[in-house]
Amino acid sequence: MNEDLVYRPTSAATADELAAQLCNIRTCTRRVTDDLSMRQLMGPMLPIVNPILWEIGHVGWFHEYWTLRHAHGEAPILDRADRLWNSSTVAHATRWDLDLPDRNGVFGYMADVLGRQLDRLGGGIELPACYFYDLSIRHEDMHVEALVYTRQTLGYARPERLGDPASHRAGAWRGDVEVPGGRWRLGSTAADGFIFDNEKWAHEVDIAPFRIAKAPVTNAEFAAFVDDGGYRRREFWSAAGWAWRERVAAEKPVYWLKHDGGSWTWRRYDKVEQLPPHAPVTFVNWYEAQAWCNWAKRKLPTEAEWEAAAVGEASPDGSRLADCKRRWPWGDAAPSGEHANLDFAFGDPLEVAACAAGDSAFGCRQMIGNVWEWTASDFVAFAGFAADPYEDYSQPWFNTRKVLRGGSFATSARIARPLYRNFFTPERNDVIAGFRTCAL
């Protein structure tokens, strides 16, 4: 291993903490896959999902490749593992046709990798190897969330044992807050612990004073746009957005169903349910968010504006942004269910007035958890970007995607840090994403 290539966080988890995290995330993976039949584990070939059985093997392979083989120098467990599960070289459309091991073989492979990792960690861990455990754990975190929205895409049953349904009422949370302008250091530093390469490094940007919504746009607010013919009115859509809308014949968000008696329903997993009016609109793409903004005479925040509203503070006289950044919107305390809907605490999005203890310094609520939030920003490299050892994580996708921030109910707190930059193409409406807006 070329240790010169390794980004070393200033604070690293202990071997025991890494072992606990490995077991925790593996429990989540099993919870979202154990109940599926072999037919469901393969599923139909779609451009936005993987065969779940392939995805499970890929998760195990990623752990093995970066920790056991790369960091510890072990030989491959399966001779053909790279040909099956290396996502950088195995074309997406071919993943349904591979000669995969059977269900027991794939799950057994993943368990074998975990057992070897735990054996290694039992003897302690050195900092260079620690990075690759951190990377692999967060990679599995991402796939757990992807498996949840794959189940939604394919109409499978709601995963069991992943938190209580979001049934309690909190209501709407309307209005804007003011954020002063000033210089803002966008991005992460080495002091932030484990980070991804596209967050490097923090750099100063100028932000003009702005007003941003206290909460994400709700289903009721988005329904007003739909009911006003928003999907049929060309003036609200960009050229690319209108081309997408016409190509897929979109008339409403993808899972919404025609309303009966004045209220909308939607397909949630394999059930049809009433659309909760005060929950954030979810499973809308960037084009839809932008069209709603044009209809409402609003705009999406840039990622710098979003980040400043989430973790910034005002100077003592309130005239500008202060130099400090909070670790979380509410401060330094680790996330809990009082602060944010993360880690399947509730299993579904909460109404937008929930989690008052998680408000930012400026009064924005739910900037962490519940739903990812689209921003106006293109996913681009920060100045001086250099890829980390997993070179295909960010570099191939610059200038083709939009940035999302904040995390969803299905996102691990390890991923849903305020500085983490998620990224998807603007037409993706299968992701657990909504949006909040700024005044023009």
Residue 165 is predicted with a pLDDT of 63
- Separation of CA 431 from chain center: 8
Q: How far is the C-alpha of 143 from the C-alpha of 49, rounded, in Å?
A: 11
Residue 402 is predicted with a pLDDT of 98
Q: How far is the C-alpha of 406 from the C-alpha of 229, rounded, in Å?
A: 30
- Tell me if the bond preceding 330 is cis, omega within 30° of 0: no
> Mean pLDDT of successive 10-residue segments in the chain (440 residues)?
39 89 97 97 97 98 98 96 98 98 98 98 92 97 98 95 72 96 96 95 97 98 97 98 98 92 92 95 98 98 98 97 97 95 92 97 98 98 95 97 98 97 98 98
* Contacts of 227-234 spanning 24+ positions with Cβ under 8 A: 228/295, 230/291, 230/292, 230/295, 231/291, 233/295
CATH 1.20.120.450 in the chain is located at 3-154
- For residues 194-219, one letter each, b for 16 or more C-beta atoms within 10 angstroms of the residue's C-beta and e for the rest, the string is bbbbbbbbbeebebeebbbbbbbbbb
Report the CATH superfamily, name and number, of domain 3-154: dinb family like domain (1.20.120.450)
CB 429 within 8 A of CB 288: yes
**CATH number for region 163-440:** 3.90.1580.10
Phi/psi-derived region of residue 157, left when phi > 0, alpha when psi is between -120 and 50, beta in every other case = beta
pTM of the full predicted structure?
A: 0.96
Could you tell me which residues come within 8 angstroms of residue 274 by beta carbon, excluding any fewer than 6 positions away? 263, 264, 265
- Beta-bridge mates of residue 177: 212
Q: Which of 140, 150, 101 is nearest to 117 (CA)?
A: 140
Residue 160 is predicted with a pLDDT of 84
Q: How many CB atoms lie within 10 A of CB 381?
A: 15
CB 174 within 8 A of CB 357: no
What is the token pair recorded at 95?
């993943």
Residue 5 is predicted with a pLDDT of 36
Where do we find the tokens 């059977």? 102
CB 407 within 8 A of CB 368: yes
pLDDT digit string, tens, across residues 352-400: 999 999 999 999 999 999 999 999 999 999 998 999 999 999 999 999 9
What is the token pair recorded at 357?
């203890």
CB 21 within 8 A of CB 137: yes
The helix or strand, by DSSP H or E, that contains position 130, with its residue range, turns out to be helix 127-154
Residue 343 is predicted with a pLDDT of 94
What is the token pair recorded at 2?
């070329």
Q: How far is the C-alpha of 333 from the C-alpha of 338, rounded, in Å?
A: 11
Look up residue 70 and give its DSSP letter: I
Q: At what angle do helices 286-296 and 219-227 cross, to 10 degrees?
A: 70
Residue 166 is predicted with a pLDDT of 60
What is the token pair recorded at 335?
């996330």
CATH 3.90.1580.10 in the chain is located at 163-440
Where do we find the tokens 């451009």? 47
